[in-house]
Amino acid sequence: MFKDIFKEMFHPSKTAIISSLKRSDGLPVSEVAKEVEMSYMGVKQHCINLEKLGFLESWRVPRKEVGRPEKLYRLTEKSNELFPVAGVDMTLSLLEGVKSLFGESAPEKLLINYFNDLKIEWGNMLGSKKSVIEKAQKLSELREEHGYFNVCEFNKEEGLFIKEYHNPLDPIFEVYPNVKRFELEMMEELLGTSVTREAVEGPHGQSQTSFEIKSLGKAA
């Protein structure tokens, strides 16, 4: 999900390209073109323009087979400006104020309440879903609506995952790392099964978070 102002500024084709690259660790123009269903030359020109604006960077990697090195594009740190964060400065300031008034544990207690409220809200929307896969797909959609950038993926060989490429709470996690556990426990209760959180680094250095959802049976 992009900040609304950038949706208005960017042509839909550019937002589709940025979305594709956000979910990857770097792609050549040919693969981006397939994902966004555009012409090779159209995607190439958009990538060149986005690189000039500082939102993309390119580099070349040797091909496995004979041929010229392949040119790949990926998002830069500047592209983080395109995605929402949870009112970071104000939120952290408020949490620090709560800590000074009510003690060290007060901020985390507030954040626990936040996830409890979110669990109730999202739980009502997941109630009609029967299987863990259906629940995971709906949870991924709800997270997307709240500013997370993630996808739900399932195949019989690897299993069921929610793969996350942007979390608006990341700046809060840096100051209050225990909050990651609160979020994970909320996801487990919503899905009715155990979930493992793992930080993953792709071959080209892009970081992401992988939530592995263990059971595919009927959720309670």
pLDDT one-digit tens code per residue, 128-147: 888 999 999 999 999 988 88
Q: Say yes or no to pLDDT of 2 above 60.
A: no
Tens digits of per-residue pLDDT, 26-52? 899 999 999 999 999 999 999 998 998
For residues 147 and 83, give the distance between their C-alpha atoms in angstroms, rounded to a whole number: 7
- Quick check: helix, strand or coil at residue 137? helix
The amino acid present at 183, given as its one-letter code, is: E
195-201 and 159-166 beta bridge pairing: unpaired
Lowest average pLDDT, out of 86-95, 122-131, 143-152, 192-201, goes to 86-95
Token pair for 21: 């690259």
**Under CATH, to which class is 4-82 assigned?**
mainly alpha
- Range of lowest pLDDT (6-10, 165-169, 203-207): 6-10
Phi, psi of 10 (to 5 degrees): -95, 145
Helices within the chain (DSSP H only): 4-9, 12-22, 29-36, 40-52, 88-102, 106-126, 132-145, 170-175, 179-191
Rounded to a whole number of angstroms, the distance between the first and last alpha carbons of the chain is 30
88-213: CATH topology is Muramoyl-pentapeptide Carboxypeptidase; domain 2 (3.30.1380)
In angstroms, the CA 4 to CA 7 distance is: 5
Least confident of 68-77, 115-124, 187-196: 68-77
pLDDT of residue 25: 79
- Give the residue extent of every domain in the chain: 4-82, 88-213
Cα–Cα distances in angstroms (integers) from residue 31 to residues 47, 156, 204, in the given order = 13, 24, 16
Backbone angles phi, psi at 134, to 5 degrees: -60, -40
pLDDT value of position 218: 45
Q: How far apart are CA 90 and CA 94, in angstroms?
A: 6
